[in-house]
Amino acid sequence: MSGQGRQRNGRNEQKQSAGSTQYEALSIQWFPGHMTKARRMIAENMKLVDAVCELLDARIPAASRNPEIDTLCGSKPRLVVLNRSDLADPEITARWREYFRQQGLPVLETDAKSGKGVARFPQAVRTVLRERLAALEAKGQGTRPLRVMILGIPNVGKSTLINRLAGRKAAVAGDRPGVTRGRQWIRIDSGLELLDTPGILWPKFDSQEVGEALALTRAIRPDILDRETLAANFLLRLRTLKPEAVEMRYHVTPDAEKNGYALLEDVGRSRGFLISGGEVDLERTANVLLSEYHEGKLGRISLEAPPEDA
């Protein structure tokens, strides 16, 4: 989606044009040293747990996956949790569930913020661990608590989920990679314990589209990017994915002939976000569009569909 020409006039035209290299800034949060520390911490904790819960953003289950997750988890039983399901398109989430199921990965959908779906977590973990449970029972160790670690990229909802499961403010929110504290286990029901510190993983930044998806869902701070470019490209995506969302929210039909900036101008004009000379305040429009997507005001919009649907 990069590199499309801008159709902008006056002050808007003077604004700095974003080149395709801007996304290099995204990887700033994850230096190789951070990744090494995170890997080490996860490897240490992996030895202590019976299962892993891989937390993904239901709107971007591919982009929010860590590129090394299979290597990191090895043969450890794994549950995929599609969090923020309240913001994702339910039909697309159902297709993702099937996609992961075909790969042998059971899926739980949650909205950790409201708590929806979270009550099913213990049972879902037990299902993932049924073979392990049977083996422990055969060895006469059936009473040992089963232990789980939550893994995910920053801001996907790990602390919120842990707090929900713990029923109190147990997890310390924080995105610092590789931070190790004294290990504590949270008993979430009889015989099931959760490592109180989630494993923080790095996302992959293998294309501009993935970088944008991470910024739109706030896995990375959107202000790392040129917000107007991000918003303009988002409107191009919406025009394909869900044009009716733009129509419903902003009373504008996304014109098939226009580029992203022109679509952003249309949205800003419709909202009455004007500055001197009757020009549209693109910065304000971009901020409002990005915030409203974050808050779910545009409806439930998934940014990625499973590969076979692409």
- 297 and 249 in contact (C-beta within 8 Å)? yes
Applying CB under 6 A, among 86, 209, 283, 292 the residue interacting with ligand G4P is 86
Look at the block and give the residue holding tokens 């002050």. Answer: 11
**Cβ count near 27 (within 10 Å):** 16
State yes or no: residue 214 binds ligand G4P (CB under 6 A). Answer: no
- 85 and 117 in contact (C-beta within 8 Å)? yes
State yes or no: residue 173 binds ligand G4P (CB under 6 A). Answer: yes
Applying CB under 6 A, among 64, 66, 93, 160 the residue interacting with ligand G4P is 160
Tell me the window of 4-12, 16-24, 104-112, 264-272 that interacts with ligand G4P (CB under 6 A): 104-112
State yes or no: residue 93 binds ligand G4P (CB under 6 A). Answer: no
State yes or no: residue 29 binds ligand G4P (CB under 6 A). Answer: no
State yes or no: residue 217 binds ligand G4P (CB under 6 A). Answer: no
Residues 178-197 that bind ligand G4P (CB under 6 A): none
CA–CA gap between residue 270 and residue 260 (Å, rounded): 15
State yes or no: residue 154 binds ligand G4P (CB under 6 A). Answer: yes
Distances (CA, A) of 185 to 46, 108, 260: 14, 22, 48
Backbone angles phi, psi at 239, to 5 degrees: -60, -35
Q: Which two tokens stand for residue 190?
A: 């009889």
State yes or no: residue 172 binds ligand G4P (CB under 6 A). Answer: no
Nearer to ligand G4P, 177 or 254 (CB): 177
Which residues are CB-contacts of 27 (< 8 A; sequence separation ≥ 6)? 205
CA–CA gap between residue 87 and residue 110 (Å, rounded): 10
Torsion of CA 67, 152, 74, 180, to 10 degrees: 120
State yes or no: residue 155 binds ligand G4P (CB under 6 A). Answer: yes
Residue 260, SS3?
A: helix
State yes or no: residue 113 binds ligand G4P (CB under 6 A). Answer: yes
What minimum distance in Å lies between the beta carbon of 269 and ligand G4P? Answer: 28
Nearer to ligand G4P, 157 or 203 (CB): 157
What minimum distance in Å lies between the beta carbon of 43 and ligand G4P? Answer: 20
Nearer to ligand G4P, 12 or 160 (CB): 160
Q: Which two tokens stand for residue 220?
A: 């990375």
Applying CB under 6 A, among 8, 158, 239, 249 the residue interacting with ligand G4P is 158
Q: Which two tokens stand for residue 160?
A: 């919120």
Tell me the window of 109-117, 140-148, 177-185, 207-215 that interacts with ligand G4P (CB under 6 A): 109-117
Q: Which two tokens stand for residue 307?
A: 């590969």
What minimum distance in Å lies between the beta carbon of 301 and ligand G4P? Answer: 13
State yes or no: residue 292 binds ligand G4P (CB under 6 A). Answer: no
CB-based closest residue to ligand G4P: 157
CA R_g for the chain: 21
State yes or no: residue 97 binds ligand G4P (CB under 6 A). Answer: no
Beta bridge partners of 192: 146, 189
Q: Which of 297, 289, 287, 295 is nearest to 237 (CA)?
A: 289
Please state whether beta strands 192-195 and 146-152 pair in parallel, antiparallel, or not at all (unpaired): parallel
Applying CB under 6 A, among 63, 87, 148, 236 the residue interacting with ligand G4P is 87
State yes or no: residue 83 binds ligand G4P (CB under 6 A). Answer: yes
The one-letter code for the residue type at 265 is E
Applying CB under 6 A, among 175, 209, 283, 292 the residue interacting with ligand G4P is 175
| Binding interface with ligand G4P (CB under 6 A) | 83-84, 86-87, 110-113, 152, 154-160, 173, 175
